[in-house]
Amino acid sequence: MHRSVIVTIVSNMAAAGCVFHRTLARSRLDPSKASSSSSSSCVCRDLLYVVDLHRYSRDQGSSVYFPQSVLSGDDLYDVTVTDGDCRLRVTLDPGLNKLVERNVLAPGSTLRNATFTPALSAQLPACTGASDSYRLVSMEVVADGVRREDVDVLPWFRSSQPTGPLRANRSVFLPLWNNVDYSGDGWRGAPPAEEEEDEDTQEAGQGLRPAVTVSELRDSFLSGRRPVARGFVQHQLIVRIISKSHLMYYGRTEQNCECPYKAVLEVCDQTGSVCVVLWNSVCVDWYRCLKPGDIIGLRRYRVKPHYQAERGAIEISVNSRNPAAQISVVPESSLSPEYLPPAPTYSFYTSKQLLERPHGSECDVIGLIMFSGRSERIRNKAGGAELLEYHWLSLEDGTSDQPIRVKLFSTSQPETHSKLHPLSVVVCTRLRCIRDADRTNVGFYLTNTSYTQVYCTGLGHHSEMSYRKLRPVRQFLQWLRSQDDGQVLSRALIGGFFIHPPPAFCLENYMKDRRGEPGFLRGVELQRELERLCYRERQTFCIQATVAMVTYCRRGEEDRSMFWSDRASSLPSPSSSSLRPSPILSFPSTPSLTSTPRSFRSSSPSSSIHQLTPLPRGAGRTSRKRKQQLQEQTPKRRQEGPVRLHEQRHHEDGTSVGGSAVTLLSLCRLPRFRLQPEQNTQTVILFEASREFLDNTNADEDKDSTDEDAASFVISPLPPDFTPIALETLPMRFDYTHREEQAVAVAMGGRVTAERQDWALEDYYTLRLRALSDSLMVDAVFLPHASTSPLLPHSNTWISILSHGAFSSHAPPPSPADLIAMATQLTNQRLVCVLEACHLGGARTELILSRAFHLTD
């Protein structure tokens, strides 16, 4: 009672200065005209801040609430906004969904000139908080908003806190970026209160025993005995969970199911195994509470045929009604020994043993994370608009030089995935081997099955699992304790662009690997596809093009660059063609958000980062012997003061005449990669990582070459106009002290900043491509000095470097100045360009040139 009085007082105090009170309450909007007239709308001129976004799928009745909107997708969004005095939850007009899908509108965004229309008060009588409901139909989004941390204490405008979706009959929200994880406080972390044991499961002075076994259920069902075959089973079944699937969301727009979830448990007792299917709200109450190895008791369930298994198989259906099932967690100590179900079994394989595993086989692995990639999404190949979230992991276990690469999709363990950063010990179960029969182990990796589960240090998982006593796990821990923290830290990376398996080295093999994928795109088609990408969505595109310009620079120093340009390409003026982020974006609730310029460049092209290990401490530095070789191979005029390698004449309007040109107007030193030596070379971090299983310096820089190996930058009076590399593209050296901040930065919705980051890679090349089909210009970044694929010998010409995606392994790489000088080799050369695209949020799209193959007549 006292709490309600306090809330009322706070609400009254906030009302006087509340923006919503001044604009929404005093304007006296007429809900009856909300669907027919724009006169019922109200514009809030003050700044509002986005507190949270909630996603859910619409149902059969949702279209009634948006009579003038085009419902092109399945999702709806509720937005919580605040003015600093109180909070208000509104529904985003479906015409603005693209703002969320491209991460333009996000928690922390600042809104200006937000336009609201009222919703009918009787629209959703069963939804708490819907009586004073509004739609957000247009706004100006101020970029780079700051997330407010003090909003939880603010009162709600005119109502209590809404408890569910405002515009659909759903009981829980979906995660913002995938359909697999759970989201919200409604998902129980502890089991519901248990009921008293039934008489048929326990006798005085004796342990707990089941009333029926798996084999008895199967026999009764197949023989048609009642009530197993036609009703529900009251007798308790006691089984152990062997495997647990991820959550499966089956909500559809034509269905009104409040909680359309299911999950599958593989369970067993001493007589056999069976699948238990958890349906609907049972998932909300029990999914988080159950894990493999737990013993559970089931009552009031139905037995059904298992259509996806062999004939005669059954499954057990557990639902919240018709009948309401009863589940309990059974301690092993309370069970009679003769009825104790068998423990789960594991099949651990080391990195060395995995090289012999066939394609499609399942395995369990344990390893130390050395690389954790950024979260990305791809389209579900099974069809539909669903985007699947994943990120790459690289694990080491000390048994071979080959890392264990895992393409890890969501497993309905969001808390665990947030801890998957370098120097964590991870156990992944029920993974599937992916192997290309034509390319041996080059493209080998592991990925999810429906039953994949992940266990990571930092959450206490390992101490609870039975695998900690297995021999492969104990051998791994022994190797882990022998490692040095400093040496491991020097190789650990997080984030950045990563590609695996690496593309083929020749056009014929690449096209064979790409069979079934879309063919070459015209420039305008590529532009259209890039504009359709959702946030962190990854796709591969192919175009035929020539190279119009090559630029070399370093991150943060793009105003000092070396470049070569081909006069014949007739480069357009970038002032009218580039797509750049804007600090303020204005959006009405219409499907079309931006115009489509004829000539374009991706807003944030990014480097093709292919390596998992940082460049060695001497990277970027050339030996004396190599420097002498370069001096012999490079025109002597490069060693003089400000020079010009190729004469370039200009008209009065600034356009150049003559052939292709490489302009060097000034020389300056190239900053080197630097890695600070670790102060602590003990094994404290790795020892701590292994404790859950218990009941559990780099060399100094070579200063002699400091002044001998500096490469050259070029400063041009009119430098080429291109967008600098996106920070999300660059791999960061792992910082154990700031591991939580780094993990958040590379996760969905995160943002990498330059503060306190030690970049493993900073210099890059940008190639301006001219599409052969329609002369559209596209900028893509190429990084030849890093690759995850085995380096092969080649001639280190531009054509061979582009086709391999890297320099030759059997010769010193050319310096940036030499490579720019060699760019004349690309004049009028037709190429098949393989582009990796990923939308980074807002107006930023990453475009990477991973391969370019020479087209011959």
Alpha helix ranges (H) inside 643-773 = 684-690, 739-746
| Torsions phi, psi for 679 (to 5 deg) | -75, -35
Residue 618 in this model has a pLDDT that exceeds 50: no
Q: Which candidate, 675, 707, 719, 691, places its Cα nearest to that of 562?
A: 719
More confidently predicted of 68 and 613: 68
Q: Which long-range contacts (CB under 8 A, 24 or more apart) does 699-707 make?
A: 699/617, 701/617, 701/618, 701/674, 702/618, 702/621, 705/621, 705/622, 705/623, 705/624
Question: 519-536 b/e with 16+ CB inside 10 Å = b?
Answer: ebbebbbbbeebbebbbb
Please tell me the distance from the alpha carbon of residue 405 to that of residue 731, in angstroms, as a whole number.
16
More confidently predicted of 240 and 203: 240
The continuous run of DSSP H or E covering 487 comes out as: helix 485-491
Please tell me the distance from the alpha carbon of residue 60 to that of residue 58, in angstroms, as a whole number.
7
Residue 720 in this model has a pLDDT that exceeds 80: no
Please tell me the distance from the alpha carbon of residue 44 to that of residue 23, in angstroms, as a whole number.
6
Q: Which candidate, 306, 328, 309, places its Cα nearest to that of 317?
A: 306
Please tell me the distance from the alpha carbon of residue 595 to that of residue 579, in angstroms, as a whole number.
10
| Type of residue at 199 | E
User: Which domains, ranges and CATH numbers included, belong to the chain?
Assistant: 12-21+40-170 (2.40.50.140), 214-339 (2.40.50.140), 351-494 (2.40.50.140), 507-567+756-854 (2.40.50.140)
**Per-residue model confidence as pLDDT tens digits over 803-833:** 988 888 888 888 999 999 999 999 999 999 9
**Per-residue model confidence as pLDDT tens digits over 84-100:** 889 999 999 999 999 99
What pLDDT is recorded for position 689? 74
Chain length of the chain: 857
More confidently predicted of 335 and 671: 335
- Indicate the pLDDT class of residue 383, thresholds 50, 70 and 90: confident
Residue 409 in this model has a pLDDT that exceeds 90: yes
Please tell me the distance from the alpha carbon of residue 94 to that of residue 25, in angstroms, as a whole number.
24
More confidently predicted of 665 and 317: 317
What pLDDT is recorded for position 473? 97
What pLDDT is recorded for position 19? 86
Q: What is the mean pLDDT of residues 743-758?
A: 91
**Per-residue model confidence as pLDDT tens digits over 118-148:** 875 434 444 544 456 899 999 999 866 556 6
What pLDDT is recorded for position 439? 56
Per the structure block, which two tokens stand in for 256? Answer: 């009104």
What pLDDT is recorded for position 726? 92
| Torsions phi, psi for 397 (to 5 deg) | -135, 5
Instruction: Confirm if 59 and 168 have CB atoms less than 8 A apart.
Output: yes
Alpha helix ranges (H) inside 565-693 = 624-633, 684-690
Instruction: Confirm if 662 and 645 have CB atoms less than 8 A apart.
Output: yes
- Indicate the pLDDT class of residue 727, thresholds 50, 70 and 90: very high
The continuous run of DSSP H or E covering 528 comes out as: helix 523-532
Residue 10 in this model has a pLDDT that exceeds 70: no
Please tell me the distance from the alpha carbon of residue 613 to that of residue 604, in angstroms, as a whole number.
24
Q: How many angstroms from the chain centroid is the CA of residue 361?
A: 26
What pLDDT is recorded for position 793? 79
Q: What is the mean pLDDT of residues 106-116?
A: 93
Q: What does the mean pLDDT of the chain come to?
A: 79
- Indicate the pLDDT class of residue 259, thresholds 50, 70 and 90: very high
Instruction: Confirm if 282 and 322 have CB atoms less than 8 A apart.
Output: no
Residue 5 in this model has a pLDDT that exceeds 70: no
Task: Write the CA distances from 470 to 237, 345, 432, 465, 620, integer angstroms.
Answer: 29, 10, 21, 11, 45
Q: Which long-range contacts (CB under 8 A, 24 or more apart) does 444-447 make?
A: 444/354, 444/355, 444/405, 444/501, 445/405, 445/406, 445/407, 445/500, 445/501, 446/354, 446/363, 446/365, 446/404, 446/405, 446/406, 446/407, 447/406, 447/407, 447/408, 447/409
What pLDDT is recorded for position 8? 45
The DSSP 8-state label assigned to residue 494 in this structure reads E
Q: What is the mean pLDDT of residues 214-224?
A: 91
- Looking up tokens 């004469």 gives 647
Question: 770-783 b/e with 16+ CB inside 10 Å = b?
Answer: bbbeebbbbbbbbb
Q: Which candidate, 405, 568, 541, places its Cα nearest to that of 839?
A: 541
Task: Write the CA distances from 300 to 135, 285, 303, integer angstroms.
Answer: 44, 16, 10
| Most trustworthy range by pLDDT among 276-290, 502-516, 687-701 | 276-290
Per the structure block, which two tokens stand in for 512? Answer: 């064979």
Burial class (CB in 10 A: 0-12, 13-18, 19+), 805: buried
Any residues with CB less than 8 A from the CB of 447 and at least 6 apart, and which?
A: 406, 407, 408, 409, 431, 432, 434
Q: What is the mean pLDDT of residues 600-612?
A: 36
